[in-house]
Amino acid sequence: MAATTRKTSRTSSSAKGSQNADRDERAETTEKTARARAAKKAEQQAKHDDRAEGLEELRTTALAAAKLPIVAGREAVRTAHGLPAYVGVGALAVAGVVEWPVAAAAGAGVAVLRRWGPGHSESD
């Protein structure tokens, strides 16, 4: 009977060792999986940050490009002494959008505002 008890005891020790090894292996696998997930998440976050930075740069560039005609137009009007306004009113009259007396009045209004309008002092 003693031999049987020792054999059972060795078998249960062997089974416990096997269970411990299985448990350790599962824990190691779980830890590896967690590390892999964390690494993947960090990689995805880095890609997201890069995309966000690129989108911000694209937005800034697009905004500057959209404002370019406005900035160029303002500069042209400032340096052309009203020429774009006269050309625009004349083109509207030629196209038939407005009648010539209306275009002439608009041109005269531009001239008057340029000479005596806001931004001009009395000494001019």
pLDDT reported for residue 77: 65
Query: What pLDDT score does 99 carry?
Result: 93
Average pLDDT, the chain: 78
* Cα(121)–Cα(81) distance, integer angstroms: 17
Domain boundaries, the chain: 14-80, 81-124
| Predicted local confidence at residue 94, as pLDDT | 93
More confident residue, 122 or 98: 98
pLDDT at 124: 47
Percentage of the chain beyond pLDDT 90 is 12
Per-residue pLDDT of 65-121, as tens digits, reads: 888 877 777 776 666 677 878 888 899 999 999 999 999 998 898 888 877 866 666
- b/e burial code for range 87-107 (CB count within 10 A of at least 16 → b): eebeebbeeeebeeeebeebb
Q: Across residues 40-60, what is the average pLDDT?
A: 84
Where is average pLDDT lowest: 3-7, 25-29, 41-45, 59-63? Answer: 3-7
Q: How many CA atoms lie within 13 A of 84 on its CB side?
A: 9
